[in-house]
Amino acid sequence: MNDNSLLKIAVIGLGYVGLPLSNMFLEKGHTVYGIDIDAKKINCLLKHQSYLSDFSNEDIKKMFLMGDFHPGSSFEAINKADAVIICVPTPLDKHAKPDLTFVRAALRNSSPFIKSGQIIVLESSTYPGTTEEEIVPYLQSTGFNVGKNLFVAYSPERINPGEKQKISTIPKVVGGVTKACTDLAKTVYESIFDEVVVVSSPKVAELTKILENYQRFVNISVMNQLLMLCDEMDINLWEVISAASTKPYGFTPYYPGPGIGGHCIPVDPLYLLWKAKEYNIDLDFITFAHKVNEQMPEFILRKIEKELKKPINESHIFAIGVTYKKDVNDLRESMALRVIEKLINAGANVVFHDPFISEIKLGTSIMKSKSLASSELTQADCTLILTDHSCLPYESIVQESSLVIDTRNSTQNLKGYRNIVLI
């Protein structure tokens, strides 16, 4: 493989990481074999339909027009590839421990088709040591000599769903098992990224990803805990953060909310917490941040009851937004869902609206998104803003609601309304 060659790339997992990555390779003229065991995703792609909020149907159509794109559910295409990039989910299990089921399945399904000279790169967020403790032993057990006739590296994804920043401008961290592995991974990623940051090992690359989210997890949890104090002291924490942000050095703003969601920030630090126990190290900051995060839905319930001055089980709540962050259709680890579920369990009558989500499933119940019609808003005792989607008409929402409880500061520019409560 030389620096100027067009590559054949197999991308395993066509979700929030794999599909944008596939698009980047196609834009540079490479061939992409997109593999996903979810037949619905493959059918959508073949019909030129998008299932991600960051991609329009037209974007999907362009992927086929501009390049050699071959989405499918078969792993056989791996035999044609120069590089295999694994972008599958790495959730937590019910005991908050790492669940590598999808990574192991990807390896197992790929194994019959992996050939000498390929590079295998893991992009899924995981604990430091995964690449060398899981990927390498498995591949060597099938007869390959990693670093000699097969190459392995780790490169953490840094995709931020809902943001418009061009992904190719975000520096790409790469750490290979050997120097040869690193050099080959660097060559692959330099073909689509402006800058590739080489680190000394897969462990360093793996921990880099976790550190980025560890920092955010702890600092957002600090703000969420401070929010509880500010609520008791009748202090607007959003105003405090705004004032503190005027300091030109030493302060980075983080913001409170209904709890931290998404696949990375509330999950990655718990991977590290699990791994640290092997070394008898207690990462107390992660433990405490997780505890604070878990308290937020209950805090919001208490706040609603306090502001309504009546029991939750006598209340009609209109929830606005159910995704974990604004401008995406991603429900993974969404604390908004946890808040709604708690409200329902407490006896509240709850309906919701989300421009990106048509329905949600809570237990065995299916809830459909309601319109933002005046009648829906005026019937509610409280309009609860849980996700601050940019496209929502906040002024009309406030005008039609008797009470608005805003957990995202989305109504900050609406002055003179007495029915807004910021938390």
Active-site residues, by number, are: 264
Q: Which amino acid is at 163?
A: E
Measured CA to CA, the distance from residue 378 to residue 387 in angstroms comes to 20
Q: Which residue has the tokens 């590739």?
A: 196
CA dihedral 11, 13, 16, 18 (to 10 degrees): 0
* DSSP-assigned states of every residue in 204-216: HHHHHHHHHHHHH
Q: Phi/psi class of residue 21: alpha, beta or left (left: φ > 0; alpha: ψ in -120 to 50)?
A: alpha
Closest CA relative to residue 202, chosen from 155, 134, 268: 155
Q: Within a 10 A sphere around the Cβ of 287, how many other Cβ atoms?
A: 12
Beta bridge partners of residue 262, listed in sequence order = none
Distance of CA 206 to the CA centre of its chain: 16
Give the pairing type, strands 359-362 and 365-368: antiparallel
Classified as helix, coil or strand, 34 is: strand
> How many angstroms separate the CA atoms of 234 and 222, rounded?
18
Q: How would DSSP label each residue in 113-178?
A: G--TT-EEEE-S---TTHIIIIIHHHHHHTT--BTTTBEEEE------TT--S-GGGS-EEEEESS
Q: In this structure, how many other beta carbons lie within 10 angstroms of the beta carbon of residue 417?
A: 12
